[in-house]
Chain A
Amino acid sequence: MYAFEYHRPASLKEAASLAGQAEDAKFLAGGHTLLPTMKLRLAGPANLIDLGQIAELRGIERSGDTITIGAMMKHAEVASSAEVKQAIPALAEMAELIGDPHVRNRGTIGGSIANNDPSADYPAACLALNATIITNQRKIAADDFFQGIFTTALEEGEIITQVSFKVPSQAAYAKFRNPASRYALVGVFVAKHADRVRVAVTGAGSNGVFRAAEMEQALSGSFTSEALNGVSVSEDEMNSDIHADSAYRSHLVGVMARRAVQEAAARG
C-alpha cells in the first residue's frame, strides 16, 4: 500500500467539499474492492475519503411502492432488514448471497453500485427492480446508470446517497456463484412489475450487467419458465474466462432465468 491522507467527514456536504479540494481522491465505502487493490499497489490514491461516519447515508425506508436504502447500508443489514424482507424478499436473499460473512458485514450497497463490477450482484437488482440511484446532485434511473464494466453515470466527486427500488409483484434472483470468488459467474434477477417483466443479468455479459430483452418480452406475455423455451442470450455477448466460457455462460443464463422465474412464481 502506498501512503495516503485519510479523511473522515461527518456530513455529505463535508465529503463533497473534501472531494472538491483534495487531489487524486477516492471515496471509501466498504472498501472491499478498493483496499485489496491498494494493498496490491494497483491503486494509490493520494486521499481517501471515508464515508462511514455520515448518518445521511444510512437507513432503510418503505414508502408506497418503493423501498429506499441508504448507500452505506451493509449487505448484512439489507439481508436482515424486516422492511426489505417484507417488501422485496428477493432483494434480501440476493444480499445474503454476496461473498461471505466478512464481506457482507463490511461491503455496502452504494459501494457495490458505484464500482459496477461486472460480476457484482446489486447492479442486476437495480436494473430488474427499476431502481433510481440518488446522488448528492441528482436522481439517475438504473437503466441510465450502468454504462459498461466498472463504468457508471457518476461524475467526478458525485456521491451516491440512496438507492430506491420499485416493489415488484413477484421477483427472484438466481445466482451461479464463481466457486472461488463467490462473485456471480451468472446471476439473473427477474422481477414482475405492473407494466412489464424485467430480467437483468450480471456476471455473464462481456459489457457488464444487462437487461435480457427477449426474455423480458417472453415473460411479459407469460410469467412462466416455459415461456423462456427457445429464448436465449447470444454467446457473442458473453464474457469468457478460465472459469466459464461464453457458451457455458450463455447456457447458464437460461438455466438461472428459468430457476428465478420458477422461484418467483412459487413465491406468489
Chain B
Amino acid sequence: MTATGIGAPVRRKEDQRFVTGQGRYVDDFNRPGQAYAYFLRSPHAHAAIRSIDTGPAMIMPGVIAVFTGDDLAADKIGGLICGWMIHSKDGSPMKAGPHPALAQGKVRYVGDHLAVVIAETLAQAKDAAEAIVVDYDVLPAVVDTAQATKTPVQVHDVSPDNTVFNWHLGNKDETEAAFARAKHVTKIDLVNNRLVPNPIEPRAAVGEYDFGTDNYTLYTTSQNPHVARLVLSAFIGVAPEHKLRVIAPDVGGGFGSKIFIYAEETVCVWAAKKVKRPVKWTSDRSEAFLSDAHGRDHVTHAEMATDENGKIIGLRVHTTANLGAYLSTFSSSVPTYLYAPLLSGQYDIPAIYCEVDGVYTNTAPVDAYRGAGRPEATFVVERLVEKTARELGQNPAEFRRRNYITQFPHATPVIMTYDTGDYAASLDKALEIADYKNFEQRKQESARRGKLRGIGFSSYIEACGIAPSQAVGSLGAGVGLWESAEVRVNPTGSVEVLTGSHSHGQGHETTFAQLVSDRLGIPIDQVSIVHGDTDKVQFGMGTYGSRSGAVGMSAIAKAIDKVIAKGKKVAAHVLEASEGDIEFKDGRFGVAGTDRSMAFGEIALQAYIAHKFSGQDLEPGLKEGAFYDPTNFTFPAGVHICEVEIDPDTGVTKIERWTAVDDFGVIINPMIVEGQVHGGIAQGVGQALLEGAVYDQSGQLITASFNDYCMPRAIDLPSFQVGMTVTPCPSNPLGIKGCGEAGAIAAPPAVINAITDALGHEDIAMPATPQAVWRAAQKARMPMAAE
C-alpha cells in the first residue's frame, strides 16, 4: 500500500473547498438576466380545482409570467414518470396515475404544485403567488397507510381502491408447508416510520435557453445528471437529449432524495425558453419538508417459523407500502425488488413468501431514502429473529449464529444469490468489541442506579452495487445500471477521470484518485476527477445504492487497464522492444529482464508527440473509456450491537455503546468508509429514536420544520466502535462491496432490539421517543418513578 493508494486513509481532497466555503452549489450559479421562480403549492391534501385565476398575479410588480398546468399541456410537456414497472400477482401492470409537473384538475397532497410565478425577484414572485385566486373543491383525504384501501377517498381515477399493485415474491406453497410443520411460530406487527430526507442543501434548479444555438442548460441538485437529462428529454419532452446539458455541480447531500426528477427542474428548463430568461428556483426548508420525496412508510405483519432444533424454516411477510400521492421516479422498485429479496437476511431460510401492496395516499410521494427497501427488510428480519430467539429462550447472538448461511454461493428463495461472506466472523468480532461477556454486570450496575440496560443485535445484509443491467431489466427497470468512465492522460502525465458516478458527499474526488494513483503509480495530486456534467462525461447512471465503488470504480479500473495496454504499445516503440516484453510496474514501463524503463508520464508524452511510431501502426494519444456492467449485486453484511440505558422515570433512552463490524469487501479509504458508517448509524438512530413524519387526518404535515421534526444531533450518539472484516467481493475486479447505506440499514433494529430487551416488552414503535418508551415501560409494569 502506498501513502495515497488503495487502503490508505487519505484526507479528502474536496474538503479544502467545502470547509473554506469555496464549494459551488446550484444556488451559487447566477446567470445573466436571471429571473426567479416561485411555486404556488396546494394548502389542501386533496381538492378538485374549479378554477385558477392568475390575472391578479400577472399585473403585480416585477412579474414576468405565471404558468399553470394548462400551459405545460399546451406545449405538450409530459408528466413526471416512474421508471420501474411492477406487475401485480395477476400479471396486470401497476396503476400509475398521471403526474403533471403543474396540477391539472386536482391537487393530491399538501405541497402539490399548482402554478409557477416567474418574476424579477423572489420576493416579487412570492407576492404575486399570493394574488393567484384558486377556487378549490376540498375533498376528504386519506393519509394513513393501513387505511388506504379501506376508504371511499380515491386519489387517482386509475385505482378505485388506491392500490398501485399487489405484488409478491417467493414460494407461497413451500412457505405454507413450512409453517404447517413448524414447532414454533413468532408473529410481529411493525411500522417502518415515514422519514423526511433533509439533506443539508435543499433542492435547486437553474434553467437556461440559448436562442443562438437552441441549447438548453439545467443546473440541478442531482445524484444522476444523465438520468435527469434522459428523463427530461425522452419522457417529459422538455428538450431533445443532445440539446440539453445537465450540470450537477457540488451537491450537499442527497440520501436518495436527489435521484428523482421533480416538477421544479422540469418547469425551470421549460420556462427559461418561454420567458427568454434564465429561471432559478431554490427550495426553502419548508418546501423541502413538503415536497422532497419522503422515505420508508411501511406497515407490516410478519411471521417466522422454527423447527424443534431452533432452525428457521419459513418466513412470511405482508407489507403495505405507502407510495404517496404520485409515483416518484423509482418509487415502485423500493418496496418490491429492493425490499423482498433481502428478507432472507444472513440466514439460511428455505421458504420465504412476501406480499406487498403499494398504495396511494394524499401525502408527499415516497421513494428511495438511504438504504431504500433494505432498511425496511432488515427491520422485519432482525426484529423477528430477535423476538423468535427470546420466545424460544435462546441467546439472540447464538440463535443468529445457528441460522447463519455458511456456504457460498447461496441462492435464497427470494431471487438473490449471495456471493461470499463470513457472518460468524463479524459476529465474533462484534461480541468481542462490545464486551458482550460483561453485559450482565453492566446491566446490574445500571439497575442499582434505577436504570434499565438493554442490548440489541442487528445482523444485516444489503444488496448493493446496483446492478446487473440484464437482471434489473428482467425485473422491470426502465434503464440499465452499468457505469461508464473515461481516463484521459495528458501529455504531462497528469490524468483526468471522467466518471458517470456523482459525488454529493461520498468523497469520490479522493477515493477515485486513490485508485488511479495506485494503478498508474502517479501522485494523487496528478489526478482530477470530473463528474456531474453531461457535456463532459459521455454518460453515467449516477450515485445511489452504494454503487459508485463497486460499479463506478470498476469502470475506471477497466479504462485504466486499457490505458496501460495502450501505454505498453507506445513503450514498445519508444524502448525498441516487442510489446510482449513490456511490463508496467510501480509507475514505469520497462523491458523485461533489462534496466531499460520509462516513467508513466514520459510514455504519456511520447504517446502525444508521436515521434517514435507511425500513425499507421499506432494511434497517437492516451485516452480510454470503459463501460462496466456488474455480474451480480454485492452483499455487504455485518453485525451491529447497540447497548442502551433507559431512565424509566422519563423514558429517555441513552445509547451507551455502539459496535459496528462490517464486511465491505476491499476498502479504498478506511477513513472515508468509517465516516460513511458513522453517518449511516446517525441516520438509523434518527429513524429509531427521533425522526418521524406525521400527517394529521386532513393531510397537513405536522412535522414540517426542525421545530417538530427531530434530526439526530452529536449529543444523541455515542462514540462508535467500528471494526471491519473482509471477504473480497468476487463479482467485481476491485473486490468492493460498498458502504454508503450500511449504517442506516443496520441501526434501527439494533436500537429497537436493545430497547425491547431493556424493557422486557416487545411493543414499541419507531421513533422510540421518551414518551413511547415511558409508556411501553409502564405497559411492561416496570418499576416507574420513585414515588
Interface residues of A (CB under 8 A from B): 1-3, 40-41, 176, 179-181, 229-230, 242-245, 248, 251-252, 254-255, 258
Contacts and interface: CB of A to CB of B under 8 A. Distances in A.
Interface centre among A3, A40, A229, A248 (most CB of B within 10 A): A248
A176 B127 CA distance: 40
Interface centre among A40, A176, A180, A248 (most CB of B within 10 A): A180
Given A180-B710, A181-B707, A255-B785, A244 B286 contact: no
Given A242-B703, A254-B785, A255-B649, A248 B286 contact: no
B690 interface: yes
A248 B771 contact: yes
Interface centre among A1, A179, A181, A258 (most CB of B within 10 A): A179
Nearest to A254: B785
A251 B286 contact: no
Nearest to B784: A251
Contacts of B694: 242
Interface string B704-722: 0011111100001000000
B751 to A, nearest CB: 15
Given A41-B126, A179-B690, A229-B787, A244 B771 contact: yes
Nearest to A229: B787
Given A41-B126, A243-B771, A245-B771, A255 B708 contact: no
Nearest to B692: A242
B123 interface: yes
A32 to B, nearest CB: 12
Interface of B: 123, 126-127, 286, 649-651, 690, 694, 702-703, 706-711, 716, 769-771, 774-775, 785-787
A248 B649 contact: no
B707 A180 contact: yes
Contacts of A258: 785-786
A180 B706 contact: yes
Contacts of B690: 179-180
A260 B708 CA distance: 26
Contact of B710 (A40, A179, A230, A254): A179
Nearest to B126: A41
B501 to A, nearest CB: 34
A251 B710 contact: no
A242 B383 CA distance: 25
A252 B708 contact: no
A244 to B, nearest CB: 5
Given A3-B123, A176-B770, 14 more contacts: A41-B126, A180-B708, A180-B711, A181-B706, A181-B707, A229-B787, A242-B702, A242-B708, A243-B708, A244-B771, A248-B771, A248-B775, A255-B649, A258-B785
B288 to A, nearest CB: 14
A255 B710 contact: no
Nearest to A1: B123
B230 to A, nearest CB: 37
Contacts of B785: 251, 254-255, 258
8 contacts: A176-B770, A179-B716, A180-B706, A180-B708, A248-B771, A248-B775, A252-B650, A254-B785
A229 B650 CA distance: 17
Nearest to B710: A180
A248 B774 contact: yes
B650 A243 contact: no
A21 to B, nearest CB: 26
A179 B702 contact: no
Nearest to A228: B787
Nearest to A185: B770
B650 A176 contact: yes
Contacts of B702: 242
Nearest to B696: A242
Nearest to B690: A179
Contacts of B710: 179-180
A244 B652 CA distance: 13
Contact of B286 (A40, A181, A243, A245): A40
Contacts of A251: 774, 785
B707 A179 contact: no
Given A1-B123, A242-B694, A244-B771, A181 B708 contact: yes
A230 B286 CA distance: 44
A255 B786 CA distance: 9
A255 B702 CA distance: 28
B646 to A, nearest CB: 14
A251 B777 CA distance: 14
Nearest to A255: B649
Interface centre among B650, B708, B711, B785 (most CB of A within 10 A): B650
A255 B703 contact: no
B285 to A, nearest CB: 10
A178 B28 CA distance: 35
Nearest to A244: B771
B202 to A, nearest CB: 14
A245 B690 CA distance: 16
Contacts of A41: 126
A255 B769 CA distance: 17
Contacts of B716: 179
A3 B61 CA distance: 13
A167 B549 CA distance: 63
A180 B707 CA distance: 6
Contacts of A255: 649-650, 785
Nearest to A179: B710
Contacts of A242: 694, 702-703, 708
Contacts of A244: 771
A251 B770 CA distance: 12
Contacts of A254: 785
Interface centre among A40, A229, A242 (most CB of B within 10 A): A242
A252 B774 CA distance: 10
B178 to A, nearest CB: 41
B129 to A, nearest CB: 10
B473 to A, nearest CB: 43
Contacts of B711: 180
Contacts of B770: 176, 179
A3 B702 CA distance: 28
A180 B706 CA distance: 6
Nearest to B785: A255
A171 to B, nearest CB: 21
A64 to B, nearest CB: 38
A243 B126 contact: no
Contacts of A245: 771
Contacts of A1: 123
Nearest to A3: B123
Contacts of A252: 650
Contacts of A248: 651, 771, 774-775
Contacts of B787: 229-230
B768 to A, nearest CB: 11
Nearest to A181: B707
3 closest Cβ pairs, A-B complex: A180-B710, A181-B707, A248-B771
A75 to B, nearest CB: 18
A2 B706 CA distance: 23
A252 B126 CA distance: 43
Contact of A179 (B649, B703, B769): B769
A251 B787 CA distance: 11
A180 B774 contact: no
A40 B707 CA distance: 14
A258 B649 CA distance: 11
Contact of A180 (B127, B709, B771): B709
B38 to A, nearest CB: 12
A149 to B, nearest CB: 16
Nearest to B767: A179
A166 B785 CA distance: 32
Nearest to B712: A179
Contacts of B651: 248
A206 B86 CA distance: 49
A224 to B, nearest CB: 13
A74 to B, nearest CB: 21
Contacts of A229: 787
A258 to B, nearest CB: 8
